[in-house]
Chain A
Amino acid sequence: MDTNQYIASGVLELYVLDLLDTSAQREEVERYVAEYPEIKRELFEIETALEAYALANARPLPAALLVPLLVSIRDTMPPTVDPVEPPMATESAPTSPPTADASTALPWLPWVLAAVLALVAAYLYFNGKSQVGEIEQERSELESEFAVLQEECDETSTALQGSQELNQLLTNPATRNVILAGSDNAPGSQAIVFHNVERDQTKFRATNLPTPPTGRQYQLWAIGDDGPVSIAVLDENLDADVLLDVDFVATAGTFAITLEETGGKPTPDLSQLQVIGEI
């Protein structure tokens, strides 16, 4: 596994923030943390950063809140507890600054300067190296963000193109809107057909068709010079918002929907007529 890529993905941050959606995702993180020391180190650093952030945002607590806590724990504690551990708050004492004697300083001065220079060089080297690492990591983060945005952009352009095409068809003067009104079998049902003989296109939307009974499907017919021709068998759970592309029949003068057995039939059963409309 590429642990760097895994680290750069941001999943560890979400884990610490408790924002992963499923327990499977959380378990995956825990497995990797147990397996890869570098992931574990990364995780602990993220935790430290957020800990520091919470501390930085903290407000002082009223001291009065401490009293009931101490009372509660004294109640539960065995009475003989020796305070073995002295309360310690040892900040590590700074090493005492070196005292230089003028007479002795001179002979080893070049060595000291060389050592300081070496330290500076080493610092600059490692600092530069870690910066390169950080920049690399940032680059891979930006790349993944870019990929996400690119994908969204592509999706949006495709959707936009589709909408524009549709818009052109619907506003084209040659397009006929045919409302299919409910028959006696289904007075409340309704659908609409957009039919354009110049562009050889027909589209369909089920504005109000109840779910068909099991074993049945709606079938859409175009009735023209050759009699009824099947132009679509509709999905059982067709969404009313979907605009469907259906087969084009140039001579169609009437559109109708019948309720047929699943899979559709070559000729319509007109006793099962649901909706019908003429151009």
Chain B
Amino acid sequence: MLADKLEQRQDTVLRLLRARDEEGMKQLFTHYGGALLTLIEPVIERREVAEEVLNDVLLKIWENVDSYDEGKSRLFTWMARIARNAAIDKVRSKAYREQGKTDPLTPVVTKGNNLSVTPTMEHIGVAKLLNHLDADHRAIINLLYLKDYTQSEAAEELGIPLGTIKTRSRRAITQLRTFLQSEMLWLALGLTSLISLFLANFGH
């Protein structure tokens, strides 16, 4: 199941990081770096600055992994919070604002639909999720999660009442979860039927 693969990956990376093994940093970079950058980019428009922040974030994770508490959240949630806070701190910093003033012509990076997929993501099959998700569910998760909109900003953008954001985001995430959980059951059922067919044929 996809969820199990995510679990395994988390455990491996966590164990390597805690052992201060350089391989841990490599896997952290390969498996989670792109996803963390996805959370930083909506806050910081300039790609090279976003990458700088990502660099700091990964080092911070490396240095502070001992303060991560497995009982409170998943590893990625903890890392995502570090990434988002670092991005927001960067935007508020004096140096960043001054850079913005002296360099007003920097084009804003547009994040269109060019969401290509890394090979490592492909092999655990996460990318398929996006195809399954309904368009309006995808829209609300994009705004709230990837683009860091507040509830009222998202309500305005989507043209729905503020009071329904909570239930809609829940429904969207629930759909996502269904896809994560459902895959393996069908595979198991298919396999048993195949075996029985095979045996039945030999019987005659």
Contact = CB atoms under 8 A, between A and B. Distances in A.
A49 B173 contact: yes
13 contacts: A13-B166, A18-B84, A47-B77, A48-B7, A51-B76, A52-B3, A56-B117, A56-B121, A61-B34, A74-B22, A83-B21, A88-B12, A112-B196
A85 B7 CA distance: 19
Interface of A: 8-11, 13-14, 16-19, 30, 33, 43-61, 65-66, 68-70, 72-74, 76-77, 81, 83-85, 87-92, 97-98, 100, 102, 105-106, 109, 112-113, 116, 119-120, 123, 127, 134, 137-138, 141-142, 144-145, 148-149, 151-152
Contacts of A73: 22, 25, 59, 62
Contacts of A57: 35, 38, 115, 130, 146
Given A10-B167, A83-B21, A52 B129 contact: yes
A48 B180 contact: yes
Interface string B187-204: 011001101101110110
A108 B22 CA distance: 53
A113 B197 CA distance: 9
A51 B29 contact: no
A179 B177 CA distance: 64
Contacts of B35: 51, 54-55, 57-58
Most interface-central of B25, B54, B74, B185 (chain A CB within 10 A): B74
Interface string B71-88: 011101100110010000
A48 B37 contact: no
Nearest to B116: A59
A27 B168 CA distance: 23
Interface residues of B, number: 86
B96 interface: no
Contacts, number: 226
Given A18-B81, A81-B20, A141-B170, A60 B180 contact: no
B99 to A, nearest CB: 20
B29 A13 contact: no
A56 B129 contact: yes
Given A55-B121, A59-B34, A59-B116, A46 B29 contact: no
Interface in B20-74: 20-23, 25-27, 29, 31-39, 51, 54-55, 58-59, 62-63, 72-74
Contacts of A59: 34, 37-38, 114-118
B126 A65 contact: no
Contacts of B121: 55-56, 58
B136 to A, nearest CB: 14
